[in-house]
Amino acid sequence: MSTYRAFEATGVRNLRVVERELVDPAPGQVRVRVEACGVCHTDVLAVEGLRGDPSRPVVPGHEIVGVVDAVGAGVSAWQPGDRVGVGFLNGHCGECEPCRRGDFVNCRNQEQTGTTIDGGYAEVVHARASGLVRVPDGMASLDAAPLLCAGLTTFVALQQGAARAGALVAVQGIGGLGHLALQYARSLGYRVAAVARGGAKETYARQLGAHEYIDSSTTDPGAALSALGGASVIVATASSGASMDPLVRGLAPNGRLVVVGAAPDPLTVATPDLIFGTRSITGSLTGSSIENEDNLAFSLAHGIRPGIEVMPFDRAPEAYARMLSGEARFRVVLDTAA
């Protein structure tokens, strides 16, 4: 093949399929034949024109699984035929101050796959070798794709606090992130509380691992968590700052609210709720490539799988619209291998 197909985003919600020339990977990069790509809400940055220059074409998608078919100069740890994943972070530089201190997530010279550099709504993608994730045998590409972003985000968030085994841990929001967070929390040995609006998701939340279910439409979730003894960690996945406000009061002493849901409205907290109990609020973006390998290995060992709706590559615009509607249960994945 001398060309490949890709869906380019320009302007606002303009996704069109184009034919691109196949090029060799640059030094330090690999070229990957895409097998599957998850459709994530963060893809709005590319498709809705929420970038510095929306007129510049970019291929969305950052939950990518595929097979290496070419390596650039200086790449020694990866070979053609290796099955790999590429997440939101396209590979750290290893030279900036955060990298030199081992903080690869906050590398100052790191591209964001599908936002600042072309992503996985394509048959081929390029990535820095430092950003690659080995996909274990026995894990299907369609299942692995959402774990590279939604899975990693919640897996890392749950480890932000020093929660002991058996401690109460809460997950707010049972959607694309939350349905995975519940599975991780249960497998990590925590007593798990699910917080969501309405009672419709209670049965499913308990199937995913929740010991307790709190309906935030009828109960103050902070008070309910406090009555259960207080949560050592609360992972807030809902895209609403207002819905997170009461959660701080549900933290145990030295507990931590970890925010992973990007919301348009601010989170408001009373300062005494932080001071009395020595509680804290922190944000969590994602994890490094090696942490993502830990995530996939843990998921495989504990049978953690995303709920997915599969759509063929040719229907990428429809898949994006399905994700944006909020009706998908729970992640949409493009099947490029088919």
Residue 305 is predicted with a pLDDT of 98
CATH says 3-149+287-335 is which class? alpha beta
Separation of alpha carbons 115 and 120, rounded Å: 11
Read off the pLDDT of residues 147-184 as tens digits, 9 standing for 90 and up.
999 999 999 999 998 899 999 999 999 999 999 999 99
Supply the CATH classification number for the domain 161-283: 3.40.50.720
Read off the pLDDT of residues 45-94 as tens digits, 9 standing for 90 and up.
999 999 999 999 999 999 999 999 999 999 999 999 999 999 999 999 99
Cβ-based neighbours of 97, under 8 Å, separated by 6 or more: 108
Residue 129 is predicted with a pLDDT of 98
What is the SS3 assignment for 78-146? CCCCCEEEECCECCCCCCCHHHHCCCHHHCCCCCEECCCECCCCECEEEEEHHHEEECCCCCCHHHHHH
Residue 91 is predicted with a pLDDT of 98
Q: At what angle do helices 178-187 and 289-302 cross, to 10 degrees?
A: 70
Separation of alpha carbons 323 and 155, rounded Å: 22
Separation of alpha carbons 33 and 284, rounded Å: 30
Separation of alpha carbons 122 and 120, rounded Å: 5
Kindly report the pTM of this predicted structure. 0.96
pLDDT above 90 for 116: yes
Residue 148 is predicted with a pLDDT of 98
Read off the pLDDT of residues 6-49 as tens digits, 9 standing for 90 and up.
999 999 999 999 999 999 999 999 999 999 999 999 999 999 99
Read off the pLDDT of residues 200-257 as tens digits, 9 standing for 90 and up.
999 999 999 999 999 999 999 999 999 999 999 999 999 999 999 999 999 999 999 9
Residues 331, 309 contacting (CB under 8 angstroms): yes
Separation of alpha carbons 326 and 97, rounded Å: 39
pLDDT above 90 for 1: no
Residue 101 is predicted with a pLDDT of 98
Average pLDDT over residues 280-296: 97
Q: What are phi and psi of 161, to 5 degrees?
A: -105, 165
Domain boundaries, the chain: 3-149+287-335, 161-283
**Domain 3-149+287-335 shares a fold with domain 161-283:** no
